Structure formats: structure tokens, C-alpha cells
Structure 1
Amino acid sequence: MIELLETLKSNAGVGIAALGALIAAAQWHTNRTRLQLDTYERRLRVYKAAVALLEEAVSEITDRRSRLRRFHREPELATSREPPATVLDSFKEGLLEAPFLFGEDVTYFLTRIESTRGLVRMYALGMADAVGTSARSRNATHVQALIECEESLKDARSRAWVEFESYLRLNRF
């Protein structure tokens, strides 16, 4: 019995060290999983913000085009509305976080959305402010650019999932 106690005493340090190593490995795994989930949630938030902005932009384009058709393309009806502040703020926040959460591909995609949205707004507001025959002839040159920008935003809406998919796949941890 005394020999058994001596053996247990001599091996207690090894057992405690092994138990400590197991606990450290479990904590490492838990922290790694938590980091992956936190990163996933942040990426998902950026994706949702991008999709919300694209939905607003496509809705605004559709609305503006239907008004132009209804009212025979009068320039004063070519106005562009800004998306709700919450949608725009959320997207801009995501745009700032994108380089840290995604690769260059998604960051570039988001930057293109922002610049194209700005061009659509610029062309639409420019057409609305145009007055007189020289302004209308100038508008004719801007109409094609506006249509291309609008189509680019519609295409971006359909491609959004493809761009984000590899970053939003839930892999086994």
C-alpha cells in the first residue's frame, strides 16, 4: 500500500501537467472557434449591408425609370434619392472593415459599388438640373453612361453572393 502511495506521489506531477495540457488545448480550441464565429458574424454583417444598399439602389433605379416612362422623360423627374441613412451608414462601416475581413476581391467589389452608386446619383441629378436645349443635348451623352452604371449595379446585386460566398461558408471548426 505504501509503495502504491509513493508511486502515485511520484507520478502526480506528470498527471497534473498532462491535465493542464488538456485544459490548455480545450481552451485553444474554444478560443479559435469563437474567433471564427466572430469573424463570420462581422463578414455576414458586411454582406447584409452591401445587399441592402444594392437593393435600395436597384429599387431607386426601377422607380426612377418608371417615373421617366410615365412622364415622357422630363428631365426634372430624373432625380435620384439617397438610400436611408441607416443603410448607407451600415454600408460605409462595412466598407471600412472590408480590408481586414476579406481579400482584395471583396474590397474591390464593395468599392466599385460605392463609386458606381455615386456616378448614378451624379448623372441622375445632373439630368434633373439640366435646363434648355444645350443641356438636353449634353444629357443625351450622359444617358448612356447612366444606363451603364445602373446595369452595373443590377449586375452587382446578382453577383453579390458569388463574391462573398467563399468567406461566408461555415466550415467545420
Structure 2
Amino acid sequence: MGIEVVEEGDLIARFPEAAFAIAIGNNRVRKQISERLDLPWATIMHPSVIVEPGAAIGEGTVVLAGAIVQPDAIIGRHVILNTGCSVDHDARVGDFSHVAPRAALAGGVILGEGVLFGCGACTTPYIEVGDWASIGAGAAVVDKIAMGTTAVGVPARPLERYNGR
């Protein structure tokens, strides 16, 4: 049994009414693919999602069951808001980020581009997480997390601090 591979130009010709989303969890790969393809991007939301008035959700973003996006939150392009996550008022989620299942972003939080915010992790209000940082499952982010840092624990600290004590 073979899998048909369809070239980008053929996609639009064969499916002229379609819009597309990238179903790949790796944030960097999702960015690379979106930059390579010139396609109309869909924003896909499960019927149980709650998006309050004033919130904005970018193209190519996928919002899964039970997610909540509060007023004036801004969700970037090609983001994954996973099952049951919560993005509170005035929060910003950068392009190509992934907010994992049951994660909670408090009001005014800023996630940079490409952030992986782990399962069940949470923040206090007005925290910034730098581009391409990773927050471990169950972490509690109470201070700014620098770009490219992997932070874990309660409170969340850079991984090397745990390893080096």
C-alpha cells in the first residue's frame, strides 16, 4: 500500500477551496515547513473551545478540545493550543509555540516564538518566556525565562541549575 505524495502546486489545483494546517508537533519543523510552502492556512478549532471576544488567533493555528482563550489574548501563527490548556487575558503566545495539555498561562504572560510550554505547567501573571525556551511538565514559572532555556520544577529554574545544584 503506497502513500500518494502531492506537490504544493498540485494541492491548490486539486483542492482549490481548501486551507491547510501543519500537523507536526515539532515547533522548529512546523516553522520550516510553513516558510517553504505558499498555501492558504486554516485556523482549526475543536467545537468545545472557548475563545472570548477580543482574543485573536493566527492563521495555521490548531486549538484542541477544551482549550480556553480569554479576552485580549493574542495567539500567533502556527501555534498548537493543546487539550484543556488555558490562556488568560492579555497573554501573548508567539508564532510556532506549543502550549501542552492542561497548561495554564496567567494574565499578561508573554511566550516568545517557538516556546514549548509543557503539560500541566503554569505561570504567575506577567511572566515572559523567551524565544525557543522549553518549560517542563508541571513546572511553575514565577520568574522570567531566558531565550533558549529549558526550565523545570517548582519554581521553574534552568535545567543546568538542577543538575549542578
TM bucket normalised to smaller:
under 0.3
Relative to the length of structure 2, the TM-score reads 0.22
**Where is the helix percentage greater, Structure 1 or Structure 2?**
1
Relative to the length of structure 1, the TM-score reads 0.21
**Where is the strand percentage greater, Structure 1 or Structure 2?**
2
